[in-house]
Amino acid sequence: MKRERMYINGGWVDSVRGAYLPVYDPSTEEVIAEVPDAGAQDVDGAVQAARAAFDNGDWSNTTAQERGRILFRLAERVRKESAMLAELEARNCGKPIVEAEYDIADAATCLEYYGGLATKVMGHVNPVPDNALSLSLREPMGVAGQIIPWNYPLLMAAWKLAPAIAAGCTCVLKPAEQTPLTVLEFAKWFCDAGLPRGVVNVVTGFGETVGAPIVQHPDVDKVAFTGSAAVGKQIMKMAADTVKRVTLELGGKSPNVFFADSDFEAAIDGALFAVFINQGEVCSAGSRILVERSIYPKFLEALAEKSKRIKLGPPLERETKMGPLVSKEQHERVCAYIEVGKKEAKLASGGGCPPSLQRGYYVEPTIFYDVDNNARIAREEIFGPVAAVIPFANEAEAIRIANDTPYGLAAAVWSRDIFKAFRVVKALRAGIVWVNHMQPTYVEAPWGGYKQSGFGRELGPWGIEEYLETKQVYINLNEQPIGWY
Ligand code: NAI
Ligand code: MG
């Protein structure tokens, strides 16, 4: 078993109190590594390093070109080591290796995108009257505290670090306690890529002991968080004391709406893909499947039938389409929701742990139907392979049910009628809406939620905006005294 260290101020260190936490392979339930179980003192060291790196000028004075090149070098390294990273990601998260390969490639693409964008940040000349020049300068926000989840570990690290580095911020990143391994591998290349010490620090540990101190630290200027709504709400409160800038991505209960005129085969595939990809551990999972009544029985039957053919198995086998859930805790949480579902609705398929897989945190793809939209399994984020199928009578009812949720991250609509599809797109209150597909995600396009799914946007030019402040500069061109007195 490997004992890892964390990366603070350009060095590899243990936690101050010398504690470690175990990291598991969820397919075998075995401990595969240990990482520092850090605390507030370690956070303070990391924040001081990030603060110093920001304030001493070495980093703030790097040119955008240099920061871009650092990101390109990191991307190149990720691509070169992608096989190793994908295998480690699959082992640590339980996700199928084929999906992990996409994640690693996407992480590299994100680094490249922001490497290019670093040199495209531009200010503005404000058309003020008088003999003066008024400018808006775009400046880095300062020290960014970044807290990420366990479902896409390296990809989420890239979504957070790449725009921050491009903007000229310095970072204290906390990976999820369940999945720190690929981020620690990535950190091994920071120095080689040219990142000065202190610019990016990685602190491992739990939310209460590492995450909260990051959010509360007075020298952190901005917090970017992806995770549960409950923690997101706490973070907003904690950040208020020091008026930190905050961006939150808090998942959802996203509707995937199927009209009777949609392509039937594509619809069945799309519904399964949207909710069972990555074992359903996806913030934008299409976990509420809304189906028009006229096709409801046929749709349900085909959906349940095809879901039984989804191959569960060890993450490293290439035919595997669903691996185990990330942890014992998540397995228990999801299984508890399945029991709730059995009381609230009817079970079409799945509903348990596969008998052939004795070890590992596996859960079958599970489909409930005739679900009332007020049921818990239709309102609460389960974050596992559990779908709630809900019938609707017409377009108006589909929109009403789809929007009847505290969340608003994502949604999808399936129809061959472009008038209807676009009307529904406009009516849906969600930050990302797909038509005749669900889940494709691109670094060039904005990502983030409406309502209680959070605020702020990641990716694209929107992503770097969240790490920039605007400074208004007034330059007097009139050499005479004001002449007021
Ligand atoms: P979580 O929200 O507790 O964890 C996400 C990150 O926040 C982790 O790095 C964690 O250490 C950190 N964290 C936890 N408590 C914190 C605190 N008080 N202050 C600062 N940071 C803190 O999510 P968890 O417990 O792993 O999963 C619970 C549920 O959250 C899932 O079932 C799912 O519904 C949701 N979730 C949503 C995600 C998304 O992508 N939107 C990702 C992960 C979980
Ligand atoms: Mg938690």
Q: Are 466 and 458 in contact (CB under 8 A)?
A: yes
| Ordered DSSP codes for 64-122 | HHHHHHHHHHHHHHHHHTHHHHHHHHHHHH---HHHHHHHHHHHHHHHHHHHHHGGG--
Mean pLDDT value across residues 443-457: 98
Mean pLDDT value across residues 387-397: 98
Q: Are 352 and 253 in contact (CB under 8 A)?
A: no
Mean pLDDT value across residues 360-365: 98
Residue 2 burial (CB count, 10 A): 11
> At residue 189, does pLDDT exceed 90?
yes
- How deeply is 70 buried, as exposed, middle or buried, from its count of CB atoms within 10 A (0-12, 13-18, 19+)? buried
Q: Are 320 and 96 in contact (CB under 8 A)?
A: yes
At 190 the three-state DSSP class reads helix
Ligand 1 atom closest to 380 (CA): 34
Per-residue pLDDT tens for 203-217?
999 999 999 999 999
Amino acid present at 244: K
Q: Which are the catalytic amino acids?
A: 249, 283
**Pocket probe mutation, ligand 1, options 214, 225, 228, 338, max atoms within 8 Å of Cβ:** 228
Alpha-carbon gap, residue 180 to 20, rounded angstroms: 12
> At residue 58, does pLDDT exceed 90?
no
Alpha-carbon distances of 326 from 23, 151, 167, rounded to whole Å:
11, 8, 33
Alpha-carbon gap, residue 47 to 52, rounded angstroms: 8
Ligand 1 atom closest to 214 (CA): 20
Q: Residue 57 — very low, low, confident or very high, per pLDDT cuts 50/70/90?
A: confident
Mean pLDDT value across residues 185-211: 98
> At residue 296, does pLDDT exceed 90?
yes
Per-residue pLDDT tens for 401-436?
999 999 999 999 999 999 999 999 999 999 999 999
Q: Which residue has the higher pLDDT, 441 or 57?
A: 441
- Nearest ligand (C-alpha, residue 234): 1
Q: Residue 119 — very low, low, confident or very high, per pLDDT cuts 50/70/90?
A: very high
What is the CB < 6 Å shell around ligand 1?
147-149, 151, 174, 176-177, 206-208, 211-212, 215, 226-228, 231, 234-235, 249-251, 283, 333, 381, 383
Ligand 1 atom closest to 150 (CA): 43
Q: Residue 60 — very low, low, confident or very high, per pLDDT cuts 50/70/90?
A: confident
CA–chain centroid gap for 355, Å, is 32
Express as a percent the part of the chain with pLDDT over 90.
98
Is the pTM of the predicted complex or chain greater than 0.85? yes
Alpha-carbon gap, residue 164 to 168, rounded angstroms: 6
> At residue 1, does pLDDT exceed 90?
no
> At residue 452, does pLDDT exceed 90?
yes
Per-residue pLDDT tens for 224-280?
999 999 999 999 999 999 999 999 999 999 999 999 999 999 999 999 999 999 999
